[in-house]
Structure 1
């Protein structure tokens, strides 16, 4: 059986390891309990988290046991990594609600039956710690000088780093120790931006319990130009279909740059690597076939085969100039609102196609808006009930964004 370490390495996941040879040997000889942490900063996971989810799926399929750690405790502090300012403080109620949403989503990707995976919440141990005993047992093992050299802290020194955030690394390290004691967790995984936190956790286990523990980080989901993927005009690319529709999700992957297709197929699907390389080698118009496969496979993993099929059919109907599909994102508006006509800016705002009226003006002035195939050039254009054909009209924003409006 192929060692999952080799699978992850071939597919381009692995960035850094604490002990590469030992980790590979460990994953090849026994079932290893490992963990990845998710701080509940929103009520849904986004596509950046999905790379970690795929990693856990690879590991579980190879016989290892995932421990999903939701940060009910660390979420009260906030990870300073990658942030220029302190995160907005969340209420305990919001954090608890977000944790529940994460659990529900992650249960779709991992098998939690019969102890094959574990869901834990670090609030269970962090919220009840006593300050002085914690400092004496754990705090004494951390060098402030060494902590300040960590990238997550260095980047914040000019803007100001609160003492609250300074505790985050110690808390995450303590998580690893707690999971090691409770579940014999030997390996922590995470994005490459978590390297400083991960190595400190492994070091803490060695110092306090005198046992071996390991860390491994994975590539961040970025484009070939080094920019983070998963940002859309309306914000993050969420895994929750209520926040990002399956069609919008599909379209994001259908429209990635040619240079990113092979990397995305490798990291975000389970297609065999010989197929990934074959699709990645396609050029010019043929690369669109690979993009359709990428979009379908990723949407199928996140939203299921039925939604992936619907999204694919909707895209083909629109871009093949076929009939409008019922699966295209849509907004229902009362026909009474069109009795005296609706201002085009109001319509674009109601359908969430523009973040502001100034953005809408730019869109029209640059020739980027059409309704039922007719380009809109008048900033004061009004939509009348008579403009609807069989109770619907299709708005096209730019080259690739479609939105249907239905009268009710």
Structure 2
């Protein structure tokens, strides 16, 4: 061994050897993907005691019978050890039944369903499984921040299709123009976070036709599928030519208000699900054993639960939207999800990031700047997102505080 210390293959020596490489510790593919904006703004809410309308989590738990189902599973020893890799049979069957019940899809619970650690892992596993370096991925912009990180980890390149205010409709001509010989995959989110846009049947059909024409894979993030206030949710996997090219992703967190359980799933043809499972097994392997049994029961809740859940959130949307309008924001009322995108220009503001950082001290409310969801921050520089998945009195208090911006 050299007196200078053990040599490393990257040209560095050990710490006591004296040589220090300038190569960063973080993989260059993840450059710029530090702490998520949600963690930063939630920490700011805790620090200042502000009302947190930034991160999208409810401030109440979901149905008591679902929570008790988790307790029964824990006490009964179901899922306390490693569950099966694809997910417990009861949950996979419930997911297949859900797809049939709501969308008329015939899904094989044994080969066409994969349970994941939330939709976030499902997206990561899909990107890692289906992409190779040099591939291009077209995604709606603004996009949920994990999309960019997952595409980067796979070594692929993201190509944004920008959704523009006021309607945030996808430009289908621009989508066609964005497709190149390197395009491998469309990563689509409807109902769309953060804008609340919901694809129409005509838009979904046109996108599906482009995917078929260019032989593209499609990954759809549908976690807000039961929160459509205007229009209808159209799973792309249900459209002609899409059954064997679509990975459909959803989760229990948003629909049943148990975001901490992190139970998500993938449905698709057996070949696609097998590919995603190959990557997923080296991420978490398995997770949320007892909660899987509880989510199986949640998916079987009567239709009145799903319609009541949607109607309650629609009322909360309207309450906050009206409050934001009275406070001077330009409000882009969403068709779905539980987020409202606003524009701060009418308040005399021009920088959403600076506005959100100052907002807790100014009036005791936390929001998220949409600019962080764009490759081109200027495209969303004056947009700010508020979550309305909170109690009515919390939303009313937030609206009252925000009126102080113009007083």
Q: TM-score, normalised by structure 1?
A: 0.25
Higher relative contact order at CA 8 Å, sep ≥6: structure 1 or structure 2?
2
> Under a length normalisation based on structure 2, what TM-score does the superposition of the two structures give?
0.25
Larger Rg: 1
